[in-house]
Structure 1
Amino acid sequence: MAFEMPALPYALDALEPAIDAKTMEIHSQKHWAAYTSKLNAAVEGTPDADKSIEEILAGDMSPAVRNNGGGYYNHRLFFSTLKAPSEGNAPTGDLAAAIESDLGGFDAFKESFSNAAATRFGSGWAWLGVLPDGKLCVCSSPNQDNPLMNVDTCDCGCVPILGLDVWEHAYYLNYQNRRPDYIEAFFSVIDWDKVAELYAAAK
């Protein structure tokens, strides 16, 4: 297959109580797997089969590639930036300094990111990303769109380094309609070391 699902770097129950094991199982082994399979079917026998997912998403896409390619990329990023929960979880180093200078500090970032996630109507994503000038931004997008795509549904064009899935399948078993509680819990399981790596690469 052109695109494969990397193994999760933690056990399915490693994110509890923030994200329960059953949700992780369904989310990764069913939803992400389905996007991966459908993306491979959509690009089979086309020039896209030899491109990276980033190259595909930045170009012209069929609806099938847009939806499933976005789903593949978004979930790959989401699952790669999670870890076991910890109190006082926060970034350090260059990333912390950039959040301070570009976004007004960690508390301001949390408020902005939480608002982007909470106010995204229906299904979609909230993003922390790196703009072409190297500065950080916060934005959101619907469905499986993301800021790499040349579409008008995302309110910033950037390289995502952190994404929060606010589709109901990501949280409904545990949180039901309490999306704000899920958003708050998400901050305890962010792998800021991984996000910092992505930030350094994107700059």
Structure 2
Amino acid sequence: MTIELTPLPFEASALQPFISERTVRLHHGGHQAAYVRNLNNMLDGDTRPLLEVINDAQGAVFNNAAQVWNHEFLWQSLSPTPGAPSLELQEEFDASFGSTDNFLTQLIQAATSQFGSGWAWLVHDGSGMQITTTANADLPNLSICKPLLTIDVWEHAYYLDYENRRPEYLEAVLRNIVNWQHIDNLLPQRSTNHA
């Protein structure tokens, strides 16, 4: 199976003014496309699904496969028309972080504190939401948690627009273009039995 570069779910210019069209094009059509090309060259006819490759791989194969997956998840995490968190999602944020604003503040702090390149994630472990960070191409352990949101803190994600001002990038993106509907769709179903 050949891994394909998944098209963006929006126009490259749609995230402006928070992420420029130039950054989106370079990020998706440059960096992510290179991970796809590199991975296909290394897989050489391997037909396994991407997550299977990630689970079994090491070194360069893992790095490229994980970066393809992480970037596909990133683009789903963003929206030019973000709306607002649903009531159920707000309740989850209240239970796990005290409020939606506290969640955003904690995610921004975690992403800012990630040393070097990596990712910050909102995950659900079955009992509640947590914030975690991963270095380089790593992703959360999918056997124990479900990713709900990610933000890329590799410099290529923000340097053209924000230079070395990572906190400013995080504030702009996470407070303005999070795809709340995507998170809501990924939430584990809660029991409706109130017995």
Does 2:130 align with 1:137? yes
Does 2:172 correspond to 1:172? no
Aligned to 1:123: 117
Identical aligned residues as a percent: 35
Write the distance in 2 (CA, Å) between the matches of 1:12 and 1:134. 36
What's the offset of the Cα at 1:40?
2.0
Give 1:60's aligned residue: 56
Q: Is the 8 A contact 2:39 2:65 kept in 1?
A: yes
Structure 1: runs of 5 or more not aligned? 151-156
Out of 95-104 and 118-127, give the one that drifted further: 95-104
Report 1:66-105 matches (<5 A): 66-84=62-80, 90-105=84-99
Shift of 1:2: 2.7
Spell out, residue by residue over 1:77-103, the C-alpha distance to the aligned partner (whole angstroms, 9 max, x if none).
0012211166xx541132221111122
Q: SS at the partner of 1:177?
A: coil
Question: Which residue is 1:194 aligned to?
Answer: 182
Q: Report runs of 4+ in structure 1 exceeding 4 Å deviation.
A: none
When normalised by structure 1's length, the TM-score is 0.85
Structure 1: distance between partners of 2:130 and 2:39: 28
Once residues 196 and 56 of structure 1 are traced to their aligned partners in structure 2, the CA distance between those partners, rounded to angstroms, is 28
Instruction: Give the letter aligned to residue 136 of structure 2.
Output: N
1:42 is displaced (CA, Å) by 2.3
Q: Which runs of 5+ in 2 are unaligned?
A: none
- Equivalenced residue count is 189
| 1:163 counterpart SS class | strand
Q: Distance in 2 between matches of 1:38 and 1:130?
A: 31
Q: Deviations over 1:13-54 (max 9, x none)?
A: 1111100000000000011111112222222244xx22x322
Amino acid at match of 2:77: T
TM-score, normalization by structure 2: 0.88
**In structure 2, what residue type is equivalent to 1:113?**
L
Residue 14 of structure 1 aligns with which residue? 14
